[in-house]
Amino acid sequence: MTSFPQLRGQFARFGELRPQPRNQWNGGIPLPPVLADFYEQVGPWGSTYHENVGPVGITLSETNISFPPLHRLWNLQAGYRWDASNGQRVPQWQDNWLVIADRNADPFILETDSGRILYAMHGAGAWNPDELAPDLPTLAAALAAVGLVCLEADEDLHDDDWEIKPAHRERALRDLARVLGDEQEAEIFLETIEF
């Protein structure tokens, strides 16, 4: 399993990181210990574009997967845990689900009692997430591996039809298989995040 200090080095390629202590959590449920460790040791912080908004977190390059800073994490629950338009609790959203990141509004969900990471597509009419990773460190390492391929490919990532070029997808598959320990799992992971 990848350690948080190792992840910090990978995540630093995507934006500013700062240790964020547990007391910055402003959520309505207890902060899970693994998530507290992630923010204290990795600390996605990001840039500040508007002073009244503050830091926006980091996005893992062309993956469009974003991790907010800890003080904004509870606000990320809007639209999942509660209806963003009226503040009403979403009945089918389980109490043990906490959105920790998203990709174009598709949530990466920490299942707080098991530590598993689930992933769901928004707009499907019901929340039916599937397991994506066994734990947060594995998810973060997997996403960083794919994000680094995108970052290093830069302008060469896509072909003329805006598809990921085969050489970059193959590299992502190889790097991801090293993280997950299995090429078939890596393929499923890439398909799930539509890479």
130 and 146 part of one domain = no
Ordered strands of the 130-133 beta sheet? 58-59, 65-67, 97-103, 106-111, 117-119, 130-133
* Tokens representing residue 109 in the block: 């969900």
Q: Is the pLDDT of residue 68 over 90?
A: yes
Predicted confidence at residue 1, as pLDDT, reads 67
CB count in 10 Å sphere of residue 23? 10
State the CATH number of the domain containing residue 105.
Answer: 3.40.1580
Alpha-carbon gap, residue 104 to 34, rounded angstroms:
24
Strand locations in the chain (E): 58-59, 65-67, 97-103, 106-111, 117-119, 130-133
80 and 24 part of one domain = yes
53 and 103 part of one domain = yes
Q: Last residue of some domain: 114, 135, 156? A: 135
Alpha-carbon gap, residue 175 to 142, rounded angstroms:
8
79 and 110 part of one domain = yes
**Hunting for tokens 């240790």 — which residue is that?**
19
Q: Is the pLDDT of residue 32 over 80?
A: yes
* Tokens representing residue 157 in the block: 């990532």
Q: Last residue of some domain: 135, 160, 181? A: 135
Q: Is the pLDDT of residue 84 over 70?
A: yes
> How does residue 78 score in pLDDT terms, banded at 50, 70 and 90?
very high
Alpha-carbon gap, residue 61 to 38, rounded angstroms:
20
pLDDT one-digit tens code per residue, 102-131:
999 999 999 999 999 999 988 777 788 999
Buried b (16+ CB within 10 A) or exposed e, 72-101: bbbebbebbbeeeeeeeeeeebeeebbbbb
To the question of pTM greater than 0.75 for the whole model, the response is: yes
pLDDT one-digit tens code per residue, 163-174:
998 899 999 999
What is the pLDDT averaged over residues 58-67? 93
Predicted confidence at residue 138, as pLDDT, reads 96
Q: Which domain holds residue 170?
A: 138-192
26 and 77 part of one domain = yes
pLDDT one-digit tens code per residue, 179-188:
999 999 999 9
